[in-house]
Structures are given as structure tokens and as C-alpha cells.
Amino acid sequence: MDSINLIDSFSEFKELKNIDRVTMMGVLEDVFRAMIRKKNGTDDNVDIIINVDKGDLEIWINKEIVADGEVEDDALEIQLSDALKIEDDFEVGEEIAIELKMVDFGRRNILALRQNLINKILELEKDNVYKKYKDRIGEIVTGEVYQIWKREMLILDEEGNELILPKSEQIPGDFFKKGDTIRSVVGRVDMRNTIPVIILSRTSPDFLARLFELEIPEIFDGLITIKKIVRIPGDRAKVAVESYDDRIDPVGACVGMKGARIHGIVRELRNENIDVISYTDNVKLLIQRALSPARITSVELLENDGRANVYLKPEEVSKAIGRGGHNIKLASKLTGYELDVYREGAEDIDDVDLDEFSDEIESWVIDAFKSIGCDTAKSVLEIDFEDLVKRTDLEEETIEDVLAILKDEFAEEEQ
């Protein structure tokens, strides 16, 4: 080959890997110079000319003309008789530029050069992917499900880069098949054996925050700020928002007319319940809002302990705690206080604490009732049977046994 035009040879590879033309030509020059140094011991007398527009690459080696028989280094010198064959007016002491052709390198060197070039470009591509996604941590990306395994899914972005969505970062209830389009947030970027590994997440609070930015213009424009997000993925989330404009209702703007704005977010999160509350620096008021939908009677802050006592009417206790204790757990995370719930008013002297039945009822069953706000016998008996089954997730037979034990206790007292 008389022309060294490797740019076009790798054009398809370049486009696929999204490496710009100038960068690739820089890689070409580095690879050729490395090969020349290996062959001649130096590349100081070598000029490599790259034409960006035409994609041509020329290599010229500069040598000093010496008298015949006085060549000491073939890489740096050429005898006069050989120089005159190129041009007939050269003289001893002048410099001559000789173009290196592809055939001058030899077949083995050409193959080695090609492999080195491919390796360099692959390394460059890995670095580009790593840097690209390192700067995008916390941002939403959209990709196509390419492969599904037991513990993770392989996602391809629009450029064909491989992204990983672990099972642990998927929302319970997520179901995707090959070819589906999926949205998630970039969780972290690792390097494993020089290979960038991009880990996605759909359970991160950042994912919910980015969805709010996409769906609610006021948040995107900075008129409303998300102060804090806490989630139990697929079940419940609480979002504290604040508006810097008194004319804007932050909660109303986020929810929209009849829930129109938040509806799309809820669907994306597999019907995760989202409580949007208005943020305030008043801790007591924030706790009241965080425990929504329960209506709080009063709050007592224990500053030194980082705890707060919350007093409610008996019928509001189960609402405050929520199914599985999720509502009070999220409220604690949102406010930064450990919340203890108490029924308002004097205790019923005729009531009996559930712990008194520990010899008849197993502790894990008692804990299940406590998690829904029922810590006394009467508080359990006041709730409908079907509601108890739904809230506690206990077997019907187990609940029937507990109710029978509690009823017997009060029957004995009456007798």
C-alpha cells in the first residue's frame, strides 16, 4: 500500500464508539511514534502529518546526508549516493526528508500496529464512558432492557453502553422484559479490572427527586425546592417541599388538579403512595405534617434525647403508625426525631397491656399488633376483624385465637 490511510479503515469503529476524529488521529500518531521508537530507537527526527479533513496520514523521517561509507546510524543518516537517487542536487551536510510507506514497516509490524491501535481506542472508550457517567451520578437515564438475569438486568443506553440494574435496586413489583424501555437514576460508577461498571437504581430517593423535576415545572425552574425525601420503595414515600414564592402553594403545585401531576410519578413507582408535605422550620408542626393522614393532638419534644412524644386520639393511633409501621418510620426519618405515639387522655384502668398476655400469646404476634398502634387488649378489640387481618398480615386463625384470649380476660373480670 502506497497510502497510509487508516482513518477511513477505522471510521466505522470510531462512529460506533463515539470517539471524535481529532482524538482518534492523536491516538494514531502516538501508536506510529511508539513503533518507530521501537524500531529506530528514537522518533525525534520523525514528522507525522495528519490531514483532518481528508483523513490522510503521512510519515516523514529526516536524515543527515554524509559521505559514502561514513554512515554510523541508519536511523539518522544517509550516504550521499543514496540521497542523489532521490534528488540529484543534494550535498553532504544537508537534510533530506524521506517518506515512510506502509511496506517499509513489514507485515508483522503492521498487524501489531493495528492491534495496538484497537487497544488504545478501546481504552479511550472505557475512560470516556467512566468520565461520562461519573459526572451523571444522580441523573435519570433511559435505556433498553437487553438481558435479564436472576440478580440483575443489563440495560443498553442510546449509545450501546452497558448499564447494570441490580435486583436490590429495583422497586418491588417491577416487571420488565427484553426490549422494554426503562428509566432509572445513575447510582454509582465503579472500575472493575479497567472496565467501567455503571450501577443504576430505581429505589434511590434521587430517582424520585428527578421524577419530580421532570413532572413539575416549578421544581425544575427552582420556584419550589425539595428539602428532603424518604422512601420505602414500592410502598410509601414522603416528600418535604418548600416554596420561595408566597403566591405558590408547594403541595398543590406538586400534586396538581385532582392529582394530575403526581399521577405519572406514582405509576412509574408501581403505585407507591407519595405524601407531599410543606416543609417548615417549626419542628412540632413538621412532625404533625409528617404523620399525615393522622391528626395530632399535641407534640412534646425531648431535645436531648432526639425523641418526640406524639399524643393522639385513640382512633388516630393506627393511622399515625401505618401498615407495618411504615408511616411512623418515614416520619421519623423525615423529621430526624424518634417518634413515640401515645393515646390522649387518662389510661383506662380496666384495660390490660398486651405484654401481660405474653404467656398465652407469642411475642412476635404481640409485636405485630403493636406495629399498628395496638398495645392494649381493648385497642385490639375495638378494631374490626377484617381490618386487623389487613393491617397486621397475620393469619386469620392467629387473630381469632388472640381475640378469644382477650375476650376471655374481660369476661372473667366481669364475672
Q: Residues 137-192: pLDDT tens digits? A: 999 999 999 999 999 999 999 888 999 999 999 999 899 999 999 999 999 999 88
N- to C-terminal Cα distance for the chain? 111
Q: What is the mean predicted confidence (pLDDT) over 262-269?
A: 93
Closest CA to 329 of 409, 320, 300: 320
In terms of pLDDT, which residue wins out, 239 or 410? 239
Average pLDDT score, the chain: 84
For the chain, state the CA radius of gyration: 37
Given a contact cutoff of 8 angstroms between Cβ atoms, the answer to whether 8 and 54 are in contact is no
Mean pLDDT of the 313-317 span: 83
pLDDT cut 70: percent of the chain above it: 90
**What's the pTM value of the predicted model, to 2 decimals?**
0.67
- Residue 30 φ/ψ region, left for φ over 0, alpha for ψ in the -120 to 50 degree band, beta for the rest: alpha
Which cell goes with 63?
Answer: 536524515
- Residue type (1 letter), 296: I
Closest CA to 383 of 352, 375, 350: 375
130 or 100, higher pLDDT = 130
β 236-243/224-232 pair status: antiparallel
Does 9 have pLDDT greater than 70?
Answer: no
140, 141, 144, 154, 333 from 148: Cα distances, Å: 20, 18, 11, 6, 34
- pLDDT, residue 20, reads 66
- Work out the angle at residue 57's Cα, subtended by the Cα atoms of residues 79 and 51, and round it to the nearest 5 degrees: 125
Q: Which of 72, 102, 70, 68 is nearest to 83 (CA)?
A: 68
pLDDT above 70 (res 394): yes
**Three-state DSSP state, 274:** strand
Judge contact between 157 and 141, C-beta under 8 A: yes
pLDDT at 214 over 90: yes
Q: Beta strand pairing status for 162-166 and 195-201? A: parallel
CA quadruple 330, 333, 335, 338: dihedral sign: positive
> Confidence band (pLDDT; 50, 70, 90) for 2?
very low
324-354 burial, b at 16+ Cβ within 10 Å, e below that, comes to bbbbbbbbbbbbebebebebeeeeeeeeeeb
Grid coordinates given for 18: 463515539
Write the Ramachandran bin of 295: left for phi over 0, alpha for psi from -120 to 50, otherwise beta: beta
Which of 57-66, 226-235, 314-323 ranks highest by mean pLDDT?
226-235
Q: How far is CA 220 from the centre of its chain?
A: 19
Residue 12 scores a pLDDT above 50: no
In the chain, count of helices (H) and strands (E)? 16, 15
Length of the chain: 415
Q: Which residues does 227 contact at the CB level (< 8 Å), separation at least 6?
A: 240, 241, 242, 279
Cβ pair 380, 353 in contact under 8 A? no
**pLDDT attached to residue 279:** 95
Name the most confidently modeled range: 276-290, 292-306, 317-331: 276-290
Mean pLDDT of 360-379: 83
